[in-house]
Amino acid sequence: MRLKQVLDRAREYNLKLSAGKCEISKPEVTYVGHRLTSEGVKPDPEKIRAVNKMSKPECVKDLQTFMGFIQYLGKFMPNMSTVSAPLRTLLEKNTAWHWDEKQETSFQKLKEMATNAPLLQYYNPNKPLTLSVDASSKGLGAVLIQNQKPVADASRALTQTQQRYPQIEKETLAIVYGCNKFHEYVYGRRVQIETDHKPLQSIFLKPLHQTPPRLQRLLIALEKYDLKVDYKPGKEMYLADHLSRSFLKETKEKETANDEHLQELQDVIFNGWPNEKSELIHSLRPYWTYRDELSVIDGLLYKSNKAIVPKALQNEMLDKIHESHLGIVKCKSRARDVLFWIGMGQDIEDKVKACGLCAQHQSLNAKEPMLMPEIPERPWSKVATDLFEYQKQHYLLVVDYYSKWPEVMKLDNETSKNTIDYLKGLMSRFGIY
C-alpha cells in the first residue's frame, strides 16, 4: 500500500526513478548516510566504523576532520556541543595546541556516543509532541519526543557572549533554538516544552510586558508557536542521561556547605554587617569592600552575578580558565565575567606563569606599547566626556585635555536632548575653539 502511494506521488509530479537504484521489499536501506528501518532511522554503520577507527588528533587539521564526522552524526547525539566543548577550544584563534586529559575524555566520549547512537523513530503528526530542552554552561540541547522516544536531536555551542547569560536566559534561548531547529515539526500544532528550569513555567504564564526586559526579545520570537511549558526534574528528562557539565550546581552547593570560610561569610550576610570593618573576623575583612554586592541564592554565594567559588573547587576552575592557554590577561578577563574568590587574579597569574606551554608562546600575549595622547595647544580645544551613575543619580563628566580641569554636572535624566543642553551651557562658559 505504501509503495503504491510513493509511486503514485512520483507519477503525479513526473518524477523518474531508476530501477537499478531502487531497493524494494527490504527491511532496511541505506540512504544519504542514514540507515532507514521499519522502526526508525539510525546512522550508517560505515560512518560509525569510520569514527571509531580515527586515532587521536595530532593537529588542528586532524581535529577538524574528526569534528566534521561528529557534526554529521549530531542529530543522533543529544548535547554533542556540550561534550565537545574541550575540543572546540583547540580550534579557537590564537590557541596553542595542547591535548590533555579533558580533550582525551571528550574525544572518547564522542566516539562512545556515536557508537551508541539512539534509534530515531519516525515523526507521526497525529501523536502528541514534546520538545525537551536544556542549557549547560557551554551549549544548548533539544530533543523532539513522541511516545517517550526521540524523533530528532540537535545541539549547538553557546557563543562567548551567550555563555555569560543568566541561566534563565540560556534556558529560554534553548527553547527558541529548539523551535527554530524543528520549525517544520512544531509550527501550527500544540507542543509540550519540557524543561528542568522551574522559573520558566511562571515566565510563560505572564503577559509579555510583565516579563524581564532581557527575556522579551526571546519570548516575542516564540509567539508564533503554540507552547505549553512544563517543569520536569533534570534527572527525569531524556536529556539528563547525555549531559556532560563542567560545573554542576549540586557540586557547588555541596562544597559551599562544606566550606567553613564561606559559611562564616553567609552568616554575616544573613545576620547583617557590623558598623566597622575592624569588628569583622580577620578572614572576612577582604569582603568588606564588596559587602553591598554579596548575596545568597539557593545555598550559593554571589558577588553581583558572579558565583563565589568554594576553596575545594578553585583548582578545578583554574584548570578550566587556563585550558585554552590564552595568557594572563585573557584568562583573567574570561574568569572575571562569571567567577569570584579573594585572590583569584593572583592565582590565575601563578597558574599561567607555571605553565611551560604558555612560556613558549609569550609572544602571543605581548603587552601593547603605551600611547601618549597628543596635548592640545590651548585649554578647552579638546575634551573628554562620559556619563556615569552614583547613588542612583546620573552625572555628566567633562575633562579638559589641556589643563585636566574636570566639570561634573548632575543630570535630571540621560536623554540625548538633556545631555546636549548641559554641554551647550558648558560651552557658553568656556567657549568653542
pLDDT tens column, 385-401: 999 888 888 899 999 98
The predicted pLDDT at position 11 comes to: 92
- Burial of 402 (C-beta count, 10 Å sphere; 0-12/13-18/19+): middle
- What value does the CA radius of gyration of the chain take, rounded to a whole number of Å? 28
Q: What integer pLDDT is reported at residue 235 of this predicted model?
A: 59
pLDDT score of 239 more than 80:
no
Report pLDDT digits (tens) over 138-161: 788 888 999 888 888 888 888 888
Instruction: Please calculate the CA angle 337-341-345 and round it to the nearest 5 degrees.
Output: 70
CATH of 258-361, one of 1.10.540.10, 1.10.3720.10, 1.10.340.70, 3.50.50.60: 1.10.340.70
Is residue 302 within 8 Å of residue 309, measured between CB atoms? no
Stated as kind and residue range, the H or E segment containing 400 is strand 393-400
**Is the per-residue pLDDT at 199 higher than 90?**
no
Measured CA to CA, the distance from residue 260 to residue 370 in angstroms comes to: 44
Of 174 and 334, the structure prediction assigns the larger pLDDT to 174
- Return the pLDDT at 339: 86
**pLDDT winner (highest mean) among 6-10, 20-24, 39-43, 152-156:** 6-10
* CATH architecture group of domain 123-231: Roll (3.10)
Rounded Cα–Cα distance for residues 75 and 155 (Å): 8
Task: Count how many Cα atoms sit within 13 Å of the Cα of residue 425 in the half-sphere of its side chain.
Answer: 13
The answer, yes or no, to whether residue 228 has pLDDT greater than 90, is yes
pLDDT averaged over the chain? Answer: 84
pLDDT of residue 247: 39
Q: Who wins on pLDDT, 240 or 430?
A: 430
- Pseudo-torsion of CA 11, 12, 15, 19, nearest 10°? -20
366 pLDDT more than 80? no
**Distance in angstroms (rounded) separating the CA atoms of residues 396 and 409:** 5
Q: Sign of the C-alpha dihedral, residues 21, 24, 30, 36?
A: positive
**Residue 399, class by beta-carbon neighbours within 10 Å (0-12 exposed, 13-18 middle, 19+ buried)?**
middle
Burial code (b: 16+ CB inside 10 Å, e: under 16) for 246-283 equals bbeeeebeebbeebeebeebbebeeeebeeeeeebeee
Higher pLDDT, 293 or 334: 293
What are 408's three cell numbers?
Answer: 561634573
Q: Please give the residue that has the higher pLDDT: either 282 or 359.
A: 282
CB 47 within 8 A of CB 73: yes
Start-end of H helices in 60-166: 60-72, 80-83, 85-88, 101-115
Q: What is the mean pLDDT of residues 23-42?
A: 82
Query: Model's pTM, two decimal places?
Result: 0.48
As a whole number, mean pLDDT of residues 343-364 equals 80
CA nearest to 110, candidates 245, 244, 248, 246: 244
Instruction: Give the domain 1-90+101-116 fold.
Output: Alpha-Beta Plaits (3.30.70)
Whether the Cβ atoms of residue 182 and residue 144 lie closer than 8 Å to each other: yes
Q: What pLDDT does residue 249 have?
A: 52
pLDDT band at 71 (very low <50, low <70, confident <90, very high): confident
Three-class DSSP category at 374: coil
Which among 32-36, 238-242, 405-409 has the top mean pLDDT?
Answer: 405-409
